[in-house]
Structures are given as C-alpha cells and as structure tokens.
C-alpha cells in the first residue's frame, strides 16, 4: 500500500503544488487507499461466490481458454489496459491516471484494444456474438 502511494507521488512529482504538498500527498494516499479497499471488497465477493459454487468452483470452458490465448497474442500495453478495465473495473479516466495518459487517450486505446481482442476471438465464436465485451461496450460502460 505504501509502495503504491510512493509510486503515484513519484510519477506525479511535477504536479505537486508548492503551497500544499502535504495535503496533496494525503489526497493521493486517500485515493490509493480507496482503490485498495475496493479491490479487497471485490476479492472477498469473488471468494464468497466461488465458495457457493457447486463442485468447488466454476468449470472453465473452451471460451475461457480461447480468451487466454487471445490475450496472450495482444501487446503488453493492450493486455494491461484490458485488465484494468475488465478485471479491476476501472473507468477510462481512472485508467488514464494509472497509466499517466489523458482520459481521451485511455478511451481511444481501450476501444482499439477491445476491437483487437474481438478480432482475435471472432474465429472462435460460434455465431452467438455478444458476450461480456460486447455488452459493456454497447452500453457505453467504461468500467
């Protein structure tokens, strides 16, 4: 946790206001703490849900393996972006903060990464279409 705060402070050192560096730093720490709390809550919900699954947890089907294969074919930057969006459920503006880019750039890169992933997954689909990626994008849901 402390490492996350220090990393953000280091990356944004040029943005630290000269008149209130301590207050600004506390704000960064508060944001990192909030992200950590949200992540822990998501983790606990997942553990509870998996514990309630019959048979000791979900059974992975061919589509899950196909997703792993498709993700492995993407560049590292696209994989990181998609993981922040889909797994961490961050909005493009939050992804922008994490990656140190503008919210507009994050939205554009996310749109392109989703498109690449869909292309890689298309040959594996059996014509049903949709799925998690399609539903979120059509709703305009950024996270």
pLDDT tens track of the chain, all 143 residues?
788 888 888 998 898 888 888 888 888 889 888 888 998 888 888 888 877 766 655 556 667 778 888 888 999 889 888 888 888 888 898 888 888 889 999 999 999 999 999 898 887 555 544 445 544 444 455 54
**Whole-number pLDDT of residue 56:** 53
pTM above 0.85, yes or no: no
Question: What residues contact residue 78 under an 8 Å CB cut-off, 6+ apart?
Answer: 109, 112, 113, 116, 117
**Whole-number pLDDT of residue 95:** 87
**Whole-number pLDDT of residue 64:** 72
**Whole-number pLDDT of residue 129:** 47
């Amino acid at each position: 946790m402390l490492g996350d705060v220090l990393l953000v402070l280091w990356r944004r050192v040029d943005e630290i206001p000269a008149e209130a560096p301590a207050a600004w730093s506390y704000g960064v720490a508060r944001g990192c703490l909030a992200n950590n709390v949200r992540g822990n809550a998501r983790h606990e919900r997942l553990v509870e849900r998996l514990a309630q699954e019959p048979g000791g947890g979900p059974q992975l089907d061919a589509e899950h393996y196909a997703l792993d294969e498709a993700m492995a074919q993407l560049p590292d930057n696209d994989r990181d972006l998609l993981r922040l969006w889909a797994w961490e459920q961050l909005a493009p503006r939050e992804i922008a903060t994490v990656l140190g880019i503008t919210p507009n750039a994050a939205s554009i890169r996310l749109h392109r990464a989703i498109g690449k992933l869909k292309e890689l997954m298309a040959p594996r689909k059996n014509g049903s279409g949709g799925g998690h990626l399609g539903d979120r994008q059509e709703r305009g849901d950024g996270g």
